[in-house]
Amino acid sequence: PLGKHLLARHLPVSPSIAKMLSTLRSRGASSSMTGFVTLQARALRSQPLRVGARAVAAASAVPRQAEQQEAPARSGAAGVLGLATAGLVGRSGLRRAAAARPRAQCRSVAAVATPITSSAEVGSKLHGWTCERVEELSELKCTGLLWRHDKTGAELLSVEQPFEENKTFGVVFRTPPESSNGIAHVLEHSVLCGSRKYPVKEPFTELLKGSMNTFLNAMTFPDRTCYPVASCNLQDFYNLVDVYLDAVLHPRALSDPKVLAQEGWHYEIEEKDQPLSFKGVVFNEMKGVYSNPDAVQGRTLLTNLLPDTPYGVDSGGDPKEIPDLTFDYFKGFHERFYHPSNARFWFYGDDPPDRRLELLDEFLRDFERNEVTSAIKKQPLWDTPRKVEHDFAVGKDEDLSKKSMCAVSWVLSEDKPDLEHSLALSVMDYCLMGTPGAPLRKALTDSGLGSRVIGGGLYEGLVQPTFSVGLKDIKDEDAQAVEELVIKTLEQVASEGFEAEAVEAALARIEFQNRELNTGGFPRGLALMFSAVSNWNYDKDPFEGLRFDAPLRALREKLVDRKEPLLEGILKDTLLNNAHRLTVTSKPSVEEGPRLETAEKERLEAHRKTLSDEQIQHLIEETKALKKIQETPDTPEALSVVPRLEISDIPKETQKIPTEIGQLGSAEVLRHPLLTSGVVYVDVAFNLNTVPTDLLPLLPLFCRGLREMGTQKSDFVGLQRRIDLSTGGISASPFISSKRNSDEPAAFLVMRGKAMDAKIESLLDLMAEIASEVSWENKDRFVQLAKEAQAGGRSQLLSSGHIIASGRLGRQTTVAGWASEQLSGLTQFKAVGALLQRAENDWPSVESQLRQLQECIFNAACVVNLTADSDALAKIDGHVNAFLARLPQQSKPITNWKPALTTANEGIIVPSQVNYVGKGANLYKEGYTLHGSSIVTSRLLGTTWLWDKVRVSGGAYGGFCSFDNRSGDFKYLSYRDPNLEKTLEAYDGTAEFLREELQMNADLLAKSIIGTMGDVDKYQLPDTKGYNAMLRHLLGETDAMRQETRDQILGTTADDIRRFASALEPVRNGSVCVVGGEASVKDAAEALGLALSSPLAADA
């Protein structure tokens, strides 16, 4: 729960990203994903993975609008516990080409039957390395070799997996911080700003422009910094590795203080009569993080729970302390910790194992062994519990009566547990917290004290395991009641014991996740790396984090066969009888925001008073010099050293997913024969065009209620257990999108489920039961779901304003955009508030509407999408027919949504120190006709003009644009932005940049095309392939249409890119939506004609 700092340099635009980041923040994380400036900004979606009893985060980068749509995850997963901060780059090998083989059908590793072999044995010496261990990883059907570098002592875990084309590499340095000046985070950003071998300003952006990578990122955890990359193309992979290695070992930042000034912090002043200000990417990013109450609560919890360790400070950086970071300390930190003797390297995939050793030695041979003191200090356990209170900022008009938070947390032991004990902790955590019906989560939810459970439960990613749980939106005086309820519930569970069925369900869920090894779009190799590092970083056995069979069997025998009270004993030892307990109460304060702003202003004024006129003039010159560097592009000669593929390496033919289209009764059935390790993936799409307009805002809660309200056969607790025992999860979510050349949207409710082929009957039986027998009678349960949704909406307004702004712009231009905003964003937030009041005061009317929705949506005239091995598909029809027979056979009349689409400029005021600035228009309505070059150009703008103007020069955490080639919507968006009008000026200068300033040469054009194709051909696991094939079918997008777009992308010319400037001209007069702090939004309101609203105000 207290885990990692994800301090991203680029931002996502998908609501699922906000959901994932919200989850991580609830675990005390701050987030930083750097590699998200792709085509339409990449969507990061969490997919849990349990490997060796360790939960690791899986994030998937998926292009939002090219050829793929983000697939909503099948629910039932155990929670996100992994990732961290971001920086990034990638590149290796000086050769340019090496033929890119066409993407093979993604194989499921477990499905391949072949002997497991290794390339070396213990004691083997090769390329300056000595093999110390060889381990057969039977669960993963591969071999792992642990090597030590003879000269430096660096370690390498080389996993040889000949059936995994998505090759992964990572290097991890232990980087324990000594203060909250953000050194680890700032350095993670800075090393990616040029290096000895690649002396350009930002090799990272060059890689973003022209790599086929499947992952490009960097992360700062509270005690380590990770630099991972992945690619399916071997030469591209080597390129990425080479750039990363040169970046971390020989960064330009050590000799150029302006890198620290740009990425970390600097004083900014342009005229003598102006006040001083702080600027810097990390500085502004962390101001945004510290504007989020959830993040502030998580940080307070972590620093106070483990105060005598590196976790007692914020590795991401506190804005109050970041300006204390000096260049000398910056250099010294790199010298101490970014040394091969402090490095742990990772490779995984089908690349040649010997080349891994050779490639690394080419870099490491220049270093000598160094004794690095970086071991992570452990927290001595307390003998008495402690309490901490702190304030967080809220708006002056907010209702403060129920805005506090309370979390109760423990450090569970003095050391990391062994594998079996770790797995037992995971089972205990799942039984206590893993489902809505789990006793601890249910007790807190049912108490009515707060709106949403927070804390996240078990986290094992630090040097000691922790556990945290609490409630959000409570009364100040109820903090003690929350703590007492947590203790009372734990005592009750310890006394009565865990229910046998709940334990079996937890074991079944964990085993399914391990055997499926489904990490979504996130490379499996990197998920495994994070699992190994959770041990390796603390000098424990890295292989332990990659195993699960033996400990799972042993644990099952104890818990199920012998019915030992093992979990109850662990609960007593680690929680009830453990005095190392911290209760954190977070209280809202209207004074906190102004206090922080005043303190920063006074600090700047005090510093200015110490400066002479000459010193002020020097700062003015420094400001100008930094801006000149930022705005001066690298020369073509300098950029040419950054290796890339050639366009000729890109397959000319679009990837086709095998699809068999048939009919079962009134249902259309799509079958995708793919290797899936015996798992069957089922998607059922029900048309939403029968839903009346006034019921649309109810859909998100309706979908959640399907899974969490129970059925006529089982209450929601029993239903979840049945799902866990027989399946890998079931979910339901709306999908709404524009269609090309149509004003009518595609709108579906998609139910998704997965199970082993032997359990497909149970899966479809449960899906039919949920659709046809859901129970809507439980008013209290629905009210709680609505409260949780309202709390989530508030968090989104504070932390993901770019998503809110994007939705508000989209609702003005198309029916699909309008409908989508009804289901998410500001309109949904307001609707949930009204619905909550109605549910509490007039429940029959709400229950009636829920039943009406059920009748409108579910019927046998649906689309059934099946992805599985050929053998499983051959015997599934009978089960599908039984499923369809339980659905109503008659569909409801179609309802045409006819909203009035009007344009407006909006200013949405929230208590925040940063802004989220959006501007957009619909290009199709302005006469533009789609050409594939627009996708290339949109991507190019995100890595050139917007990157330089909004992020590098403007200091925002991110700036990007998106072009939805289905609807025609083009949007500019910024994230954690210290500016407002200046950012809008940058947006308005885009067309001129394309016409006059863009130095388009053959190299930049090729990079732009290659990078775009990397997004288009994004790596996909079988279930995602099947899902995306279904979406294309529903949207009427044929392989011929995709091939035409592909041809246009590959054939893009410099003239095509310049011509797109004309298409962007209408956006200068487009709509504006800004989410931000009161002062900045109100200051710009008159000039921009903003209609102001304060959705968090008490009277909103």
What confidence score (pLDDT) does residue 114 get? 52
What is the SS3 assignment for 219? strand
Is residue 421 within 8 A of residue 495, CB to CB? The reply is no
**For the segment 177-214, what is each residue's pLDDT rounded down to a tens digit?**
999 999 999 999 999 999 999 999 999 888 888 899 99
Torsion of CA 338, 339, 342, 348, to 10 degrees: 80
Token couple for 863: 């689309």
Q: What percentage of the chain reaches a pLDDT higher than 70?
A: 89
Q: Choose the catalytic residue: 135, 188, 398, 544.
A: 188
Q: How many CB atoms lie within 10 A of CB 66?
A: 26
Is residue 102 within 8 A of residue 118, CB to CB? The reply is no
What confidence score (pLDDT) does residue 65 get? 29
Write down the H helix ranges in 547-670: 549-556, 566-571, 592-609, 613-631, 636-639
Report d(CA 651, CA 129) in Å as an integer: 37
Q: How many CB atoms lie within 10 A of CB 712?
A: 10
For 705, residues 6+ apart whose C-beta sits below 8 A from its C-beta are 774, 776, 782, 785, 850
Query: What mean pLDDT comes out for the span 913-924?
Result: 97
Question: Residue-wise over 807-836: b if at least 16 C-beta within 10 A, else e?
Answer: bbbbbbbbbbbbbbbbbbbbbbbbbbbebb
Residue with more model confidence, 106 or 65: 106
Is residue 567 within 8 A of residue 427, CB to CB? The reply is yes
Report d(CA 838, CA 822) in Å as an integer: 18
Question: Phi then psi for 45, rounded to 5 degrees?
Answer: -120, 135
Is residue 691 within 8 A of residue 857, CB to CB? The reply is yes
Is residue 1035 within 8 A of residue 746, CB to CB? The reply is yes
What confidence score (pLDDT) does residue 802 get? 96
What confidence score (pLDDT) does residue 116 get? 67
What confidence score (pLDDT) does residue 75 get? 39
**For the segment 1063-1083, what is each residue's pLDDT rounded down to a tens digit?**
999 999 999 999 999 999 999
For 255, residues 6+ apart whose C-beta sits below 8 A from its C-beta are none
What confidence score (pLDDT) does residue 32 get? 35
What confidence score (pLDDT) does residue 520 get? 87
For 160, residues 6+ apart whose C-beta sits below 8 A from its C-beta are 117, 118, 119, 142, 143, 144, 145, 353
CA Rg value for the chain: 27
What confidence score (pLDDT) does residue 31 get? 32
Q: Are strands 167-174 and 155-160 parallel, antiparallel or unpaired?
A: unpaired
What is the SS3 assignment for 158? strand
Question: Phi then psi for 1008, rounded to 5 degrees?
Answer: -65, -40
What confidence score (pLDDT) does residue 909 get? 96
| pLDDT of residue 76 exceeding 50 | no
Report d(CA 586, CA 592) in Å as an integer: 12
Report d(CA 90, CA 204) in Å as an integer: 7
Report d(CA 1065, CA 928) in Å as an integer: 11
Q: Are strands 404-411 and 466-474 parallel, antiparallel or unpaired?
A: antiparallel
Beta partners for residue 171, in sequence order: 227, 345
Residue with structure tokens 């900045």? 1080
**For the segment 533-560, what is each residue's pLDDT rounded down to a tens digit?**
999 999 999 999 899 999 999 999 999 9
Q: How many CB atoms lie within 10 A of CB 641?
A: 15
What confidence score (pLDDT) does residue 877 get? 96
Question: Phi then psi for 961, rounded to 5 degrees?
Answer: -135, 160
Question: Residue-wise over 162-199: b if at least 16 C-beta within 10 A, else e?
Answer: bbbbbbbbbbbbbbbbebbbbbbbbbbbbbbbbbebbe
Report d(CA 371, CA 393) in Å as an integer: 44
For 927, residues 6+ apart whose C-beta sits below 8 A from its C-beta are none
**For the segment 822-845, what is each residue's pLDDT rounded down to a tens digit?**
999 899 999 999 999 999 999 999
436 DSSP assignment: T
Question: Residue-wise over 879-893: b if at least 16 C-beta within 10 A, else e?
Answer: bbeebbebbeeebbe
Query: What mean pLDDT comes out for the span 458-470?
Result: 96
Residue with more model confidence, 210 or 441: 441
Is residue 349 within 8 A of residue 238, CB to CB? The reply is no
| pLDDT of residue 56 exceeding 80 | no
Q: Choose the catalytic residue: 263, 460, 516, 708.
A: 263
Residue with more model confidence, 13 or 1069: 1069
Report d(CA 389, CA 383) in Å as an integer: 20
Token couple for 952: 């590098």
| pLDDT of residue 927 exceeding 50 | yes
**For the segment 589-623, what is each residue's pLDDT rounded down to a tens digit?**
999 999 999 999 999 999 999 999 999 999 999 99
Residue 927: exposed, middle, or buried by beta-carbon count in 10 A (0-12, 13-18, 19+)?
Answer: exposed
What confidence score (pLDDT) does residue 25 get? 32
Q: How far is CA 617 from the centre of its chain?
A: 43
Query: What's the CA angle centered on 473, arms 470 and 479, to 5 degrees?
Result: 55
| pLDDT of residue 70 exceeding 90 | no
Is residue 1074 within 8 A of residue 809, CB to CB? The reply is no
Question: Phi then psi for 608, rounded to 5 degrees?
Answer: -60, -35
Query: What mean pLDDT comes out for the span 753-764?
Result: 96
Ranking 689-693, 751-755, 894-898 by mean pLDDT, the lowest is 894-898
11 pLDDT tier (thresholds 50, 70, 90): very low
Is residue 86 within 8 A of residue 555, CB to CB? The reply is no
Write down the H helix ranges in 147-254: 183-190, 203-210, 234-249
Token couple for 596: 């922080």
| pLDDT of residue 89 exceeding 60 | no
Distance (Å) of CA 1078 to CA 591, 644, 807, 1093: 14, 46, 21, 10
Query: What's the CA angle centered on 748, arms 747 and 754, to 5 degrees?
Result: 150
Report d(CA 778, CA 1) in Å as an integer: 30
What is the SS3 assignment for 662? strand
| pLDDT of residue 890 exceeding 90 | no
| pLDDT of residue 142 exceeding 60 | yes
Query: What mean pLDDT comes out for the span 878-888?
Result: 97
Token couple for 440: 């601890």
263 a catalytic residue: yes
For 26, residues 6+ apart whose C-beta sits below 8 A from its C-beta are 1, 294, 298, 454, 455, 456
**For the segment 779-801, what is each residue's pLDDT rounded down to a tens digit?**
999 999 999 999 999 999 999 99
What confidence score (pLDDT) does residue 27 get? 32
Q: What percentage of the chain reaches a pLDDT higher than 90?
A: 85
What is the SS3 assignment for 370? coil
| pLDDT of residue 93 exceeding 70 | no
Residue with structure tokens 């090799």? 203
Q: How many CB atoms lie within 10 A of CB 1056?
A: 18
For 205, residues 6+ apart whose C-beta sits below 8 A from its C-beta are 37, 943, 944, 947
CA-wise closest residue to 297 among 22, 598, 94: 22
Distance (Å) of CA 371 to CA 174, 321, 335, 1031: 13, 29, 12, 55
Query: What's the CA angle centered on 312, arms 311 and 314, to 5 degrees?
Result: 70
How is the chain split among helix, strand and coil, in percent rounded to 5? 45, 20, 35
**For the segment 225-254, what is each residue's pLDDT rounded down to a tens digit?**
999 999 999 999 999 999 999 999 999 999
| pLDDT of residue 278 exceeding 50 | yes
Q: How many CB atoms lie within 10 A of CB 653?
A: 10
Report d(CA 132, CA 149) in Å as an integer: 10
Write down the H helix ranges in 121-180: none
What confidence score (pLDDT) does residue 26 get? 34
The residue ranges of DSSP E strands in 138-279, in sequence order, are 142-149, 155-160, 167-174, 213-216, 219-220, 224-231, 266-268, 277-279
For 375, residues 6+ apart whose C-beta sits below 8 A from its C-beta are 174, 539
Query: What's the CA angle centered on 699, arms 695 and 702, to 5 degrees?
Result: 115
**For the segment 1014-1067, what is each residue's pLDDT rounded down to a tens digit?**
999 999 999 999 999 999 999 999 999 999 999 999 999 999 999 999 999 999
Residue type, 409: S
Q: What is the chain's mean pLDDT, rounded?
A: 88
What confidence score (pLDDT) does residue 115 get? 61
What confidence score (pLDDT) does residue 575 get? 98
Ranking 342-351, 602-611, 633-642, 1080-1089 by mean pLDDT, the lowest is 633-642
